[in-house]
């Protein structure tokens, strides 16, 4: 029960924060901050915290998968989605460093140039894929937990 509670609370904090930030904070920041590019400075700082939260949560998800280990189809899909979330996190951390470097360059034309746009699109793609895998992982986990309650494994 403790494991499940920690997984649910951590997952809700991580994904809820991600959804709220992307769906509310970023659009509001762009409409309120002058110039709107100030939102990128806020996101630059907040994304570090979001990545740290993701890393902690992914460790808790790993703990849950190890505790309920039985090689079934659901088991393999949970590992695939978890591994994809880890790869996405690594890509997002790397892209965040690259984007920050572009912003630190101080050249507004370069910062707004195509290199930044490509890096940002890649970052958003990784974030979207990570979110999708998180939702699939959660659904699979509920199936696994139901089986665990019935005395089944995986």
What residues does each domain of the chain span? 2-149
| pLDDT one-digit tens code per residue, 93-105 | 999 998 888 877 7
Average pLDDT over residues 25-29: 88
pLDDT of residue 42: 84
| pLDDT one-digit tens code per residue, 39-63 | 778 888 899 999 999 999 999 999 9
Top pLDDT among 134 and 43 is at 134
pLDDT of residue 137: 96
pTM: 0.87
The mean pLDDT value of the chain amounts to: 87
pLDDT of residue 29: 86
Top pLDDT among 8 and 31 is at 8
pLDDT of residue 107: 52
Q: How far apart are CA 7 and CA 13, in angstroms?
A: 10
How many Cβ atoms sit within 10 Å of the Cβ of residue 23?
10
Lowest mean pLDDT, pick from 36-40, 48-52, 76-80, 110-114 = 110-114
């Amino acid at each position: 029960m403790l494991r499940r509670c920690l997984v649910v609370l951590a997952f809700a904090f991580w994904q809820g924060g991600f959804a709220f930030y992307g769906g509310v904070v970023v659009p509001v920041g762009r409409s309120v901050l002058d110039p709107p590019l100030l939102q990128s400075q806020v996101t630059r700082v907040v994304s570090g915290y979001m990545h740290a939260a993701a890393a902690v949560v992914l460790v808790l998800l790993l703990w849950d998968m190890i505790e309920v280990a039985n090689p079934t189809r659901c088991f393999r899909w949970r590992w695939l989605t978890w591994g994809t979330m880890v790869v996405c996190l690594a890509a997002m951390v790397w892209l965040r460093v690259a984007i920050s470097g572009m912003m630190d360059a101080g050249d507004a034309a370069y910062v707004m140039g195509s290199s930044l746009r490509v890096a940002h699109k890649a970052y958003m793609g990784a974030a979207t894929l990570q979110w999708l895998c998180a939702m699939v992982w959660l659904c699979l986990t509920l199936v696994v937990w139901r089986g665990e309650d019935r005395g089944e494994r995986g």
